[in-house]
Structures are given as C-alpha cells and as structure tokens.
Amino acid sequence: MMQQIRETWKTIVEQELIAYATEKLESGDAIREAGPLIVQKPPKSEMGDLAFPLFIYAKVLRTAPQKIAEILRDRLSGRQDLPAGELLAAGPYLNVRVDLDALAQQLYAVVSKQGDSYGTNSSLSQKRIMVEFSCPNTNKPLHLGHLRNDAIGESVSAILTANGAQVHKVNLINNRGVHICKSMLAYQKFGNGETPQSSGMKGDHLVGKYYVKFSQWEKEDPSATEQAQEMLMQWEQGNPEVLALWKQMNQWTLEGLAQTYANTGISFDAYYYESETYMLGKDTVMQGLEKGVFYQEEDGSIWIDLTPINLDKKVLLRKDGTSLYITQDIGTAISRHADWPFDSLIYVVASEQMYHFKVLFYILKQLGYSWAADLHHLSYGMVNLPDGKMKSREGTVVDADNLFDELTQMAMNEIKEKDREDEIKDVGATSKAIALGALNYYLLQVNPTKDMVFNPAESISFNGNTGPYLQYMGARISSMMRKFAAVQDEYENILFDSSLLALHEERELVKLIAVFGEAIEEAGRNLNPAIISSYLYDLSRLFSKYYHDYPILRAETPPLVKARVTLVTMVLQVLRNAYALVGIPFLETM
C-alpha cells in the first residue's frame, strides 16, 4: 500500500519538476536526461515518510538543490489534486509526510477484507515455478544441513505463491549410486540381519549407521571402494540379490525420512527417484554424442567440452558405462518438464554445487532445450556448529531428528519453568510448535548465500531475535484479544477513529503494516526468506515497545481503546501471515 502512495507522489513530483523546467528552459528534456527521480526514506521519521533528492537537477536548472526543493514545495502546495499529506523542503530534499490517518483507515478496510491473504500480490500470476529442495540420499538420515535446505525450499515456495506464482514443490531422492552401495556393502558384511524393528532404530538411522561403518572399514581395507563400485555395476546390470537388498534398505530410509518431514512440516507435490531417471539421462547423453554435442575418449568414457564457459571438460558416462550425478540430473530435468511444463525451475542446493549446476544448465542448453534458460541455482551457505564443520561419513553431523527432539525438550522445560502448564492445553504439541518456530526462524534469518553457525540454545531462547520471541508476540496479542472479546459489546457502536493514533510508535506500526506487501515482493524477487524474517522482527520489536509503554485495553477513553485495539488486530493479522511464510507455527497461548 505504501508502494502505491510512493509511486503516486513520485509521479506528481516528477510532473511538476518537468513543468518547472519547461517554463525555465522551454523544455523538460533536460530533467529526463539528468536521470530518474529517486524516492528514499528520510533518516528520521520527523522529517517525513518520503524523500526526493534533487542534487542531480541542480546543474541543468542552474539552481541550488535547496532552492529547487522550496520551489517545488510552493508550486505543489497550490494544487488541488494532491493526495493527503504534507510537503516539506528539507535542505536539498523535497519530503512528504504521508497522511497516516487516511492510510490507517484504508489499511483497516483492506486488512479486514483480505485477512490471511493480506500482503499477497499477483506479480507472478502468469508463472509456473518448480522448486526442488531437500534431495536426500538413501544412505543416511537428514541432518542439520538438510534442515536449512528444507526451511529455505519450503519458505521460498510459500513466498513465490504469495506473489501469485503457481508453485510445484519437488524432491529428488538420491537412491542409487556408489554412495548407496557403500551402505549396502557394509550392511551385507556387518549387518547380521539387523532391522529397524530388531534394533529399535528409525530406518534411516539404521542405514546411516552402516554408511559410517563403511568409512571405518574403508580405512582398514583399501579394496572396499572397489567392491562398492563393483556392486554398483551389478545393480545397473540387474543382479537380483543386489536389487533385493537395495529395495529393502531404500524402504527403511524412506520410511524414516517421511517421519522427519512430518515432524518438521515439510511436504512435496511430487517425488522423483534417481533410479527411475538415470536411464533417461544415459540415453540423452548417447543421443548428444550422436549429434556431436559430446565426445568419446579412447577408453569409452563420454565427455563435454566446457571451454566455451571457461571451464575444462566434464565426464558424463564412465568408461564402464555407469552414470554420474550429472547424468542423472540431465534425465531428471527432462522428465520434470515433460510432467509439469514449468516457466522456471529453482534448485535449492548448497553453494558447494555451483560448478555442478553451471555445467548442468550449459549441457541442457547445448542439447537444445529452450526451457534451460529458466533454470536457477538458489545457492545457500553451509551450516556449521559452534565447534566446527559436520562430516556425514565420520558420523559427526547434527542429526535432524535428534536436534528437533532436543529443541522440543528445551521448549518444554521453558514452559515448566514459567509454570505455564495449566494454561496450555497440549504441552507436547506446543513444545513441538515452539521447536519448529525456533528451528525455521534461526535458519531463515540469515541470507541464504551466507554460511552460518547454528546454536540450539540460542535458537530456542524466548528473548531476542528468535522464533519463540516472535511466537510470544502472537500469543500475547491473542491473550489481549480474548480479554477484549469479553467486553467488545461495549465498543460495538464506536467507530475506528484513526486520528487518535497519534503516538510515534503507532505511526510507525501503521507504516510497517502498509509495507508488508513490499517485503513479500522483495523476498520473492530475491528468493530470500531473510527479508520476511527481518520484517517480522522489526514489527514484533516495535509492537513490544508499544505494548510495554502504553495501555491498550485500559486506554484513557473508549474511542482510544477501540482505535488501539483496531491497530493491534492489524498487527496480529500481519504476524500470522508472515509466520506462514517462514514456517513459524502460530500459537494462541505459550
């Protein structure tokens, strides 16, 4: 809504600037050539809400920018068609103080009508966007790195949907390859028929145990890796015994992963399995070889020359005919577009794979797929622990299930310490919701491109820039609204008078509510959930100060109570809407 006000004022000021130049210079062209009029936010709220710097027009108008500001202010002040607001000449800036009474009144009408859809827009309404994320291997459980991937993927999908796009969330299960065979081989050698049921372990944890076991065995037996490669060849050749073991261990892992996804609120519209797409990739590589897109070495391996994109070369099929990740991804991309023709496909994958996707996108373009121009790698940084980097094969990762359980227990302890058990209907469910809010917010408040350190104790804190702090804001307002509901009949005939919202904090809250839609657009444009996270914290922190410093239900007069409660209901609606974009469960009580 502020964006519309901003654009309206920009158009008016620009028109007046050109009109003034036309009178002075007999042409407004010099203004257009000098550069577009810029809109900024004044450094202090008392200086207004919009600022138009006029430096670049001083030379062409042969007038000091301070004087231009005064001239424009005086000229515009005489117009009858201006939006409500006040013009200010602030040195070399022409500033505008928006009529927040009118804005608040308009906001209330819009927020009340749109409810859960407030802030959404149709900027991407013509776009079909596929988002790939998670993409686990079936040789181990999800870990902290996967949780960041999942949080980004789920949040970006929600943000793109809020911008009007039709979004299709997909997961690629990496269920074949030499790394899968390593777990299988170790289980075959050391498993003694152990199962999830006999061990009491989740299936993905059991399989992961043997991936770590292989790494230990490999150090003792140099032939282990060669044996795993031999097993992969047997798998591709359809060896019944190998396939039976593969299906069994895959099933154990997939059942375990499904439980983790359910706990962490992750869902997908479609699943793809490398075991089902790698053959299409191999066939496509052979077709590319025939067309001269690829070339074959003397040992039979197939490669692509990457010198046109300033790289060396890349193998696409090994000399023994087995495929690689890149081969599989070629087949998967083709299969996906056939299933759900997209305008854009976003791969949410760690920054370590930047080379991989640069090569993949180039290959698909060289193969002649027009949609390859709309492939994007949303590269995110690594998640480390306070004491260093995680390593899957050494078993030093932070397991996703264990971390979530730990956060849930910490939340439960906090509830008990505050003696809140009697006020919360389901302490277990609430603790899980707090844990999920803590996890997602902590992972999303950092720009995806940056590496980050995850600190569990810090993430679950009820104070500071955390998910539980934000959830507490929603619960606090909900509590207030329950109290108001008991007496709301007394205020039924009192109209909302926005002019009573005269406090600095109230004005700033109105402006923040008004720019929520802009935050959603910016987050969608940049594929960056941290923009929503930052917006949420700013809104919550400002509301917390307002709530602490001024009475709401006990304001001096009934009309003031009604005005402040109306403002609070708008804050609550925006909090709920923003929570949904970054995976924070809304809680009525905490």
Asked if residue 137 and residue 93 are part of one domain, the reply reads: no
At 505 the pLDDT is 96
Q: Would you tell me how many other CB atoms lie within 10 Å of the CB of residue 40?
A: 11
Same domain, 86 and 202: no
Nearest to 499 by CA among 108, 159, 16: 108
Q: Are residues 371 and 444 in the same domain?
A: no
Domain count, the chain: 3
The C-alpha atoms of residue 344 and residue 372 are separated, in whole angstroms, by 9
* pLDDT over threshold 60, residue 527: yes
Amino acid 345: pLDDT: 98
Same domain, 510 and 434: yes
Helices and strands in the chain, H and E counts: 22, 13
Q: Over range 192-199, report the average pLDDT.
A: 96
My answer on whether 553 and 474 are in the same domain is yes
Verdict on whether the full-model pTM lies above 0.85: yes
**The domain that contains 72 carries what CATH number?**
3.30.1360.70
Looking at the structure, tell me whether residues 183 and 228 fall in a common domain.
Answer: yes
Q: Which residues contact 284 (CB under 8 A, 6 or more apart)?
A: 330, 331, 334, 367
**Residue 569 domain-assigned?**
yes
536 domain residue, yes or no:
yes
pLDDT digits (tens, 9 = 90+) for 319-347: 988 888 899 999 999 999 999 999 999 99
Q: Is the residue at 323 inside a domain?
A: no
For the chain, what percent of residues have pLDDT higher than 70? 98
Q: What is the CATH number of the domain that holds 433?
A: 1.10.730.10
| Whole-number pLDDT of residue 373 | 96
Question: Are 94 and 12 part of one and the same domain?
Answer: yes
What was the pLDDT predicted at 322? 81
Assess whether 205 and 143 both reside in one domain.
yes
Are both 270 and 358 inside the same structural domain?
Answer: yes
- Residue 439 domain boundaries: 418-581
Give residue 47's pLDDT: 93
Residues 209-222 pLDDT 10s: 999 999 999 999 99
Q: What is the pLDDT of residue 46?
A: 87
Please tell me whether residue 22 adopts helix, strand or coil conformation: helix
**Residue 258 resides in a domain:** yes
285, part of any domain: no
- Average of per-residue pLDDT across 484-490: 96
**46 and 145, same structural domain?**
no
Same domain for 222 and 364, yes or no, is yes
Is the confidence at residue 406, as pLDDT, over 80?
Answer: yes
d(CA 214, CA 182): 6
Q: What are the structure tokens assigned to 340, written together?
A: 């759900």
* pLDDT score of 506: 97
The answer to whether position 324 is within a domain reads: no
What does the mean pLDDT of the chain come to?
Answer: 95
Does the structure show a pLDDT above 60 at 394? no
What string of DSSP letters covers 327-350? Answer: HHHHHHHHHHHHHS--SEEEEEEE
Evaluate whether residue 302 is within a structural domain.
Answer: no
Residue 41 shares a structural domain with residue 149 = no
